[in-house]
Chain A
Amino acid sequence: MSEQIPLSFTLNGKPVAAFVEPRKSLADFLREDRALTATRLGCEMGTCGACLVMMDGAPAHACLVLAAQAEGAEITTLEGQSEDALMADLQAAFVDRNAAQCGFCTSGMLTTALAYVRQGGTPDRAAIRDALSGNYCRCTGYEAIVDAIAGVAEAAMHKEAAA
């Protein structure tokens, strides 16, 4: 085992100072060292999107980032998003549309969806599918997930227009 190195960054709004083994991925650090298990590990090679977290405000694959690379960064996992109004809307829409079956992909789907709607993404189904191209779901067939995101994007557009 190689020597542990010091690491400090902001996790869900709070400072973290820890020692990590260099080979540990950010996903393993979150799950094993911090018990933040909303971040899932599927493929561990960037394909399935189950491990997405927010890194400095944009989605990143926690399986493709070494914990050591998070030095100084701001990391937000799904656990840290529960106060976010838009995330609450997305979660409610996923429940309404039955967009989670086994739920394994759901954290990653919600993370991608949050970034999509925040960036002004439209309810256009093709655009939503494109945004979800790196998120795999083995259960739902995607239709319900696209419905849920389209509904929230639509509402966000009306809110924007009214403001």
Chain B
Amino acid sequence: MKAPAFTFERAPTLGDAFDLFEAGGGEAIYLAGGHSVVPSLALRLQAPETLIDIAAIPELSGIREEAGMLRIGAMTRHAEILADPLVATHAPLLAMAAPHVAHPAIRNRGTIGGNLCHADPASEFPAVMLALEAEMEIAAPEGHRRVPARDFFVDLYETACAPGEILVALHVPVAGPATRCAFDEISRRRGDYAMIGCAVQITLEAGRIADPRVAFLSVGATPRRVPGCEAVLHDALLSAATIAKAQDALGADLDPMDDPNVPPAMRLHLARVLLGRLLGQLENDHV
């Protein structure tokens, strides 16, 4: 199908984008890579009057280290995340998740900012943001603010970035020498949205776990950390016994949605299998 008619505006600066949004009287949306917006127009799932292209706004691009944090501009393409040496060194979990996002050509155009703002519950990067405890820098006409990832993902396709506001960049605390991480997902076919996915980051010293972060995607309206499971891992030796206990804790942490394709019991089972796989991988890498 073809998209309905709309007007198209290019915003060279943040200020221009806000002005254009204001002028749009609630009928405008921002356009980044367009890989969620354009198909939604073609399918006529939405019909905005104006698209405001934010791709050229300077603050939205670039990856750099800044005061112990990695700053990743919202317009960074998935393929750049995959190839960037700073991401590989300072946020390896993000680099590990990137190959699971869609197909190679989609990764050339889709942006991390668009991905996070779209907030698909089966999307990889939102779960990674939770595990990395990243901060989202949001710009509004009144000024910039930072929102922790745990407060950013509000509901299905809904984030703390309100209509008219712009996600400028994400700030990720850089990984330390003892940081270990793993990411994987289970999908029916390569490149499909995942039935379950999991991001794990821990600090591992002398075989003992500190600061465990475990986040799941595709378990409900938003990605989820699993506090019970993390409590089991905290200050424990990374061993087969610990892994089994962590897997058992998931039953109380997760309450997967009703879905005829993947019933809750099956999804919980897949979550346990995936967590066991990832922690087992970290245990093997360690010995």
Contact = CB atoms under 8 A, between A and B. Distances in A.
Interface of A: 1-3, 5, 21-23, 25, 28, 44-46, 49, 52, 55, 58-61, 63-66, 68-69, 71, 112, 115, 129-131, 133-134
B105 A2 contact: no
B5 A55 contact: no
A66 B109 contact: no
Given A25-B38, A55-B108, A133-B189, A2 B103 contact: no
Given A68-B53, A133-B190, A22 B109 contact: no
Given A23-B6, A133-B190, A112 B104 contact: yes
A61 B39 CA distance: 11
Q: Which 3 A-B pairs have the closest CB atoms?
A: A134-B103, A22-B8, A133-B191
B192 to A, nearest CB: 9
A71 B5 contact: no
Contacts, number: 91
Interface of B: 1-8, 10, 31, 34-35, 38-39, 41-43, 51, 53, 55, 79, 102-106, 108-109, 189-191
A44 B7 CA distance: 20
Nearest to B35: A64
Contacts of A25: 2-3, 38, 42
Contacts of A129: 190
Nearest to A5: B8
A55 to B, nearest CB: 7
B7 A46 contact: no
A130 B191 CA distance: 8
B105 A61 contact: yes
A156 to B, nearest CB: 18
A133 B53 CA distance: 29
B34 A69 contact: yes
Contacts of A61: 35, 105-106, 109
Given A25-B38, A45-B42, A134-B103, A60 B108 contact: yes
A64 B39 contact: yes
